[in-house]
Structure 1
Amino acid sequence: MSTPLPPLPAFPPGFLWGASASAFQTEGAADTDGKGPSGWDAFAAQGRIKDGADASRATGFHARYREDVALLAGLGADAFRFSVSWPRVVPGGSGPVNTAGLDFYDRLVDELCAHGITPAPTLYHWDTPLPLDEAGGWLNRDTAARFAEYASAVAERLADRVPMWITINEPAEVTLLGYALGEHAPGRQLLFDALPAAHHQLLAHGLAVQALRAAGAANIGTAVSHSPVRTAGTSEEDRFGAELYDTITNWMFADPILTGRYPDENFAALMPGPVAEDLEVISSPLDWYGVNYYQPMLVGAPSNDALGDFAGVGLPTELPFGVREIESEQRTDFGWAVVPDGLREQLVLLKDRFGDRLPPVYITENGCSYDGLDDRRRIDFLDGHLRSLHQAIDAGVDVRGYFTWSLTDNIEWVEGAAQRFGLVHIDYETLERTPKASYAWYRDAIAAQKSGH
């Protein structure tokens, strides 16, 4: 029998406890109520999901959302971060709004509110309407304008009940995996020619912030992935490779959003359009900043012994950096290193870099893939990362809340159903939900925080 963990230290009063999910990974109902296809629907139809998992069915959240909201209520969660499916709301990417699609989110928001749970919608979690992908996707500047129109439509319907908004989730992963390496939708392999996709996502973020505010929305943030980057060797080539990787994955998005500048003039020169004017839009003031953290990265010069991988995806050998395996006593089932202190490290890096420009922070994703219902390793992961988060707060970082990834198991993009991140197990044959041991632990941890013990 495992030894119970000591209680977590007390988090600040009003700290928000939540869980996360996304539309493509959970909703299913791929052609219900007028939903149009997304780029990910088309990508999955090409057989790109490794285990053949049925993303068109996913976890059945669209039909079973009340069941999942009840699980959130049983958890004692303060908030639920979900995503709105852009092609469910605007099937053509532009043009008429699909009222039946918006009606679903209306019902979901009402159900959350009825249980006292704060709805925290993400407007873009990777599912671009297929007509926009076919017209260039994020390589096309027009996609940013269409995104702002969609954001306005969602806010006009939901802003009276939604007190917290996220514009775009992890633009670095979309750029790298979708446009540079071709391992995610839309499957482009452009390497550094993918940079326009980064700029246009940033522009879409800024335009969406403005559109949301114009529609009466407040408390607007975003969700950006961050990993502390450590240098693998001592050579000048190692240092250059690590710094370039750090710039691309950590600062190419955070700097424009928070400072109105790109971190490197060379990157700024490669971006399309009127960059200076765009940066004024991109840096539209935020109310808070979301951080997604999973693991640190060890990076150096390209070499034969490098893993050559980004988030499990092969890196072409012609890139000027190589990723090594970071030392860690524990690894998730995904093979990711378990390094809780990396969360504190990254948050302190953000505070040191941006100072007063850094708004209050929410951890918008943090979690791990482990199989089984008796998932003690997930409990240890969450416990360690929450202690690390508390250390960051003690170090002066203004952190207001934590959303674990994820409420239920879901379709983990190209990995399919094999990687299980949920507090709740999904039987993909029956779609039955079964809370895991980690669900009970997180429930008890939240209750202890709220009781002051």
Structure 2
Amino acid sequence: MATGELALVSSLFIVVVFLLLGAVAREASALTRHDFPEGFVFGAGSSAFQVEGAAAEDGRKPSIWDTFIHQGYMPDGSNADVSADQYHHYKEDVKLMYDMGLDAYRFSIAWPRLIPDGRGEINPKGLEYYNNLIDELIMHGIQPHVTIYHFDLPQALQDEYGGILSPRFIEDYSAYAEVCFKNFGDRVKHWATFNQPNIEPIGGFDAGDRPPRRCSYPFGTNCTGGDSSTEPYIVAHHLLLAHASAVSIYRQKYQAIQGGQIGITLMVRWHEPYTDKTADAAAAFRMNEFHIGWFLHPLVHGDYPPVMRSRVGVRLPSITASDSEKIRGSFDFIGINHYYVIFVQSIDANEQKLRDYYIDAGVQGEDDKENIQCHSWSLGKVLNHLKLEYGNPPVMIHENGYSDSPDIFGKINYNDDFRSKFLQGYLEALYLSVRNGSNTRGYFVWSMFDTFEFLYGYRLRFGLCGVDFTAAARTRYLKNSARWYSGFLRGGELRPEKPYATL
């Protein structure tokens, strides 16, 4: 082929590539739910502690989070005693979900509402509430996706034997999970055993800035005891074993009859190197292994990641052969909560005499706000990582969203176009990942309503639907993002009705 002809072909090839890329960009920018595979589930979520309220009503007893906030550890002095008061407004809330066009609602069961003492008697009022909520959802054609445990451990179990730090937790959690399967599984077909079990051990048992506030110097201060070098790993181990136990119960006794699926939901941040140095690239790899692989490696391969074994040593609990058999494959799907990417730098852990989770991983930058950034491409990297490293498991994106902070408490603000833009960017990344072979099967916005946010109270708002927390009736109102998401789900535009109109 002559040089001129080669140049012409090359030019034409470049033009075709740019046209194709432009087509993809145009296609993505005009996405609707119809661009996703048939059966792909779209929804929004919340959790019991954050949205229900009615903290001391109808037999509910305190969780460790109730104790934590009433001891004055929230910076803004807020509490979740009433919050969005979904306990009394669930019918109104389900109607909003229906009007928006949601396929599904992700919520959690409050252990201290259903079994207030952590074990023993079932609270009939708690049972009634969740039956009513589930029935209301199904009546409106909305799938209930239920998280069994979302941080709200009954305070009674914490007081009795130290909660998750004790192996006794495994038995009590398993019994509680079975109560859920037995009473709700005829209608609930999507179960997640735990929400973010790779986060709770860090906040509660390393940094100590979350209940039950256990840590050791210099990794945390003002704690009620603890050992930051060992307890996070012990707690995570018990959560992993409790998960496997609940899945075993479900599969042996309920799954064939009820026809549901069960999995676990992890926080999945993506870690990138802060610089182009080899050491920082290695640090990002290690942090992804410590953060994602901590649970996914045992669930897929039956043991903790080799890099954790080598760096944590004897402080990392052993997984016995029999436990490995129970843990491996104990999921029908993996739920992921994803918000941002973190740029990390390497540190020399050998120079540190005292060790905790982050020093074991040999990274710094996790808590630096400048290193935490929102980029939609990070979701694509996460899904590609799951595809390549863990056999492309079925994935449900259980949380993805963007917060704002109101200037004035109680101020009503409909204009959250920044949130719509954020969601569109991440949905575009999801769309391209699915086209590229990701086995993702659902997407849930966090959150359906403004809620009490763990550690932030009401200073951060993630809701598609706002809540007027200054009103006794906790009036709901539709933000622009709710209308945008409804348009995405319905494939059309919606009239900007205000102030409290339904869609």
Fold match by TM threshold 0.5:
yes
Which residue of structure 1 lines up, in the alignment, with residue 342 of structure 2?
Answer: 297
Shift of 1:170: 0.5
- Equivalent residue runs for 1:198-237 within 5 Å: 198-217=236-255, 218-233=260-275
Shift of 1:280: 2.2
Which structure 2 residues correspond to residues 3-402 of structure 1 after superposition, within 5 A?
6-8=29-31, 10-134=35-159, 135-189=161-215, 190-193=227-230, 194-217=232-255, 218-233=260-275, 238-264=280-306, 265-266=309-310, 267=312, 269-272=314-317, 275-302=320-347, 320-323=362-365, 337-355=373-391, 358-371=392-405, 372-402=413-443
Once residues 144 and 37 of structure 1 are traced to their aligned partners in structure 2, the CA distance between those partners, rounded to angstroms, is 20
- Extract unaligned runs of 5+ from structure 2: 1-27, 216-226, 349-356, 406-412, 493-503
Structure 1 residue runs without a partner (length 5+): 304-314, 329-334
Q: Which whole-Å CA distance do the structure 1 matches of 2:213 and 2:279 have between them?
A: 30
1:404 is matched by which residue type in structure 2? V
RMSD: 2.4
1:215-261 CA distance string (max 9 Å, x none):
42421121111122112235565355434322221110111122212
User: Deviations along 1:193-222, whole A, 9 cap, x unmatched?
Assistant: 121011111111111112223442421121
Cα distance change of structure 1 residues 118 and 257 upon mapping to structure 2, 3 Å threshold: same
Q: Which amino acid aligns with 2:245?
A: L
Relative to structure 1, the CA distance from residue 327 to residue 396 in structure 2 (aligned partners, 3 Å threshold; closer, same or farther) is farther
- Correspondence 1:421 to 2:462: yes
Give 1:49 deviation, angstroms: 1.5
Could you tell me how far 1:277 is from its partner in structure 2?
2.5
Q: Return closer, same or farther for 1:239/1:15 CA change in 2, 3 Å cut-off.
A: closer
Q: Which residue of 2 aligns with 1:307?
A: none
Contact 1:298 1:325 in 2 (8 A): no
Aligned letter for 1:173? I
Q: Which amino acid aligns with 1:403?
A: F
What one-letter code is carried by the residue in structure 2 that aligns with 1:275? T
CA deviation string 1:345-381 (max 9, x = no partner): 11001100012xx431111110010253210100000
Separation in structure 1 between the aligned mates of residue 367 and residue 107 of structure 2, nearest angstrom? 32
> How does the TM-score come out when normalised to structure 1?
0.89
Amino acid of the structure 2 residue aligned with 1:159: G
**Match of 1:82, SS?**
strand
SS in 2 for 1:342: helix
Which has the higher Rg, Structure 1 or Structure 2?
2
Given that residues 370 and 377 in structure 1 are in contact (C-alpha distance below 8 angstroms), is that contact kept between their aligned partners in structure 2? no
Distance 2:194 2:337 in 1: 12
In structure 2, the CA distance between the partners of 1:239 and 1:40, relative to structure 1 (3 Å rule), is: same
In 1, the alpha carbon distance for the partners of 2:317 and 2:369 equals 39
Kept after mapping to 2: 8 A contact 1:28/1:60: yes
What is the CA deviation profile of residues 311-366 of structure 1, one whole-angstrom value per residue up to 9, with x for unaligned ones? xxxx98898421169999xxxxxx952200100111001100012xx431111110
Task: Report percent identity of matched pairs.
Answer: 35
| Residues 381-427 of structure 1: per-residue CA shift (max 9 Å, x gap) | 00000000011101101111111100001011110001000001111
Query: Which residue of 1 is the match for residue 8 of structure 2?
Result: none
User: Structure 1 pair 101/11, CA: closer, same or farther in 2 (3 Å)?
Assistant: same
Aligned to 1:437: 480
**What's the TM-score once normalised by structure 2's chain length?**
0.80
CA distance in 1, matches of 2:82, 2:152: 15
The alignment of Structure 1 onto Structure 2 pairs a total of residues equal to 427
Distance 1:12 1:316 in 2: 39
Structure 1: how far apart are the matches of 2:280 and 2:41? Answer: 40
Aligned with 2:455: secondary structure? helix
Contact kept in structure 1, 2:138 and 2:144, CA below 8 Å: yes
| Shift in CA distance, 36/212, structure 1 to aligned 2, threshold 3 Å | farther
| 1:354 partner amino acid | Y
Q: Measure the CA separation in 2 of the matches of 1:326 and 1:131.
A: 36
Quick one: which amino acid aligns to residue 368 of structure 1? Y
Deviation digits for residues 282-339 of structure 1, max 9, x if unmatched? Answer: 2243221111110011111349xxxxxxxxxxx98898421169999xxxxxx95220
Distance 1:420-1:92 versus aligned 2 partners, 3 A rule: same
1:38, 1:130 within 8 Å by CA — same for their partners in 2?
A: yes
